[in-house]
Amino acid sequence: MKYKEVKNYIGGKFVQSDNKRLDVFSPLNGKIISTVPLSGYNDLDEAVKAAQEAFPKWAGLTSKKRSEVLYRYRTILKNNIKELVSVIHDEHGKTIDEATAEVEKSIELTEFACSIPQITAGEIMKVSDGVVCRTEYVPLGVVASIVPFNFPHMVPHWSLPNIIALGNCMILKPSEQVPITAAKIAEMLKEAGLPDGVLNLINGDKDIVEAICDHPDIKAVSFVGSTKIAQIVYKRATSNLKRCLALGGAKNHLVVFPDADLEMTANDIAASFSGTSGQRCMAASVMIAVRDVNHIIEKLCEETRNKIPGLNLGPIISKQSRENIINYINKAEQSGAIILVDGRNAKVEGKGDKNGYYIGPTIIDYPNNIPMPEEEVFGPVFEIIHADNIEEAMFFENSSPFGNAASAFTQSGGLANEVASKASAGMIGVNIGVPVPREPFSFGGWNDSKFGVGDLTGKGGIEFWTQLKKVTTKWRKQEKTDWMS
């Protein structure tokens, strides 16, 4: 499938950028399906001006009026799910089922934003005789959201519906690897009646991200991507005195005890580490096998062999990323680790194209004397390390520089609670392979998986995308009854 060339979306119109363009490849077959502009500062400045122009009117609406657009948008998403799924499948490569789940999650995120009028009523209290104090959530102005490739539809929805429901106007910077889905988001919001200028799309890479961090009229920036770039963005945006929340990479540890349910544990872990071909920040990455869990490892290997590239497993986003993953496995093998399931030369089956960037699911077992690298792999690779007891297991988990998710697999409530309380991670699962907190709970990790205060979605998003105004009022003349009145 070939798509029209990708344009920027500024002030309600799709517009060309004069800058050079980049090819967009489909990981399904390695073919060029479109091109995307690498926009410059002038494009961004135009978008910021459009957003500034739209802001007073949009912010001036009641939040109920703003949420009406999102109600209509939700219906449009539901009615067009097939079209969206097909674009996501083409440009990202994930399976139809995975792409469908992605859009369904975006719908849930939109529903949360629809509820914002109900949950952002401020507080009010009589603070002294005749004196009342109340609070209001006030939008920040023009804000920006920079997103990664791995969920071209869902990750923009972590921020976008909340940003606009709360009265801000925004710049969305999609990943240059998957820019086509983002254009669909703009089209559908326009159809839902979003006023021009409230959402603007600026495509590009490093240069435009830096321009966003530097632009004096952008008040806040959210970033989701790798830890290396999250750190760069966080430092640059905050040094320009912007509010910033930058979510980074992950390497999520699962502590597996011998009493864990065999079928459920093996199924959950296999699905977690291979889903979206391992390209998700909440994927299971490492099993800390506590004592003898060989029966679970054997079952996990069996389950893993049922994940077949082209059949029920999508490709990796790019040729380069595929090569990096294979190099990682090669190095692990050279270091003395044992490859229990090897996906390096896996056959592509079903409708899969052999020119697609496929790799089979892989399980690497590190004997006690072989150290596991601490870097994120971001592919369908699961690693196993071994611990003698829960203290040693938690030491390994706590030693990881990341802190997105951690899980316990056990039938014991006591052990599960100990893992939950001692894990150094923001999102904890018990017998769950992908412990994403559903709305209204907020999404956000710890340590090198997040830079900045608070969380990005749910109630955390409300705090991040607004500023709190405190209004104290006195309407009657009176004798002073205390120091405040």
Give the binding site for ligand NAD (CB under 6 A).
146-150, 155, 173, 175-176, 205-206, 209, 224-226, 229, 232, 247-250, 281, 376, 378, 404, 445, 449
Residues 78, 127: contact at Cβ < 8 Å? no
Give me the least distance between CB of 228 and ligand NAD, in Å please. Answer: 7
> Is the CB of 213 or the CB of 266 nearer to ligand NAD?
213
Kindly state the smallest distance separating residue 327's Cβ from ligand NAD, in Å: 16
> CB of residue 175 vs ligand NAD: minimum separation in angstroms?
4
Least distance from ligand NAD to the Cβ atom of residue 205, Å: 5
Instruction: Locate 374 and state its tokens.
Output: 């601490």
CB 428 within 8 A of CB 407: yes
Contact 164, 195 (CB under 8 A): no
Copy the structure tokens of residue 187.
């089209």
Q: Is 281 a catalytic residue?
A: yes
Q: Specify the pairing of strand 8-10 against strand 13-15.
A: antiparallel
Separation of alpha carbons 247 and 442, rounded Å? 13
Contact between residue 170 and residue 160 where contact means Cβ atoms under 8 Å apart: yes
Whether the ω angle into residue 440 lies within 30 degrees of 0, i.e. cis, is yes
Q: Which residue's CB is nearer to ligand NAD, number 227 or number 362?
A: 227
Active-site residue, from 114, 169, 244, 281:
281
Residue 166 and residue 120 in contact, taking contact as beta carbons nearer than 8 Å: yes
Residue 219 CB, shortest distance to ligand NAD, in Å, is 19
Element (H, E) at 124: strand 124-128
Nearest approach, Cβ of residue 150 and ligand NAD (Å):
5
As given in the structure block, the two tokens for residue 281 are 């920040």
Nearer to ligand NAD, 352 or 444 (CB): 444
Element (H, E) at 414: helix 413-422
Whichever of 48 and 224 has its CB closer to ligand NAD, that residue is 224
Helix axes 96-114, 63-79, angle to 10 degrees: 160
Closest residue to ligand NAD, Cβ-based? Answer: 225
What dihedral do alpha carbons 157, 160, 163, 164 form, nearest 10°?
-120
Whichever of 139 and 179 has its CB closer to ligand NAD, that residue is 179
* Residue bearing tokens 């950028």: 17
Name the residues annotated as catalytic.
281
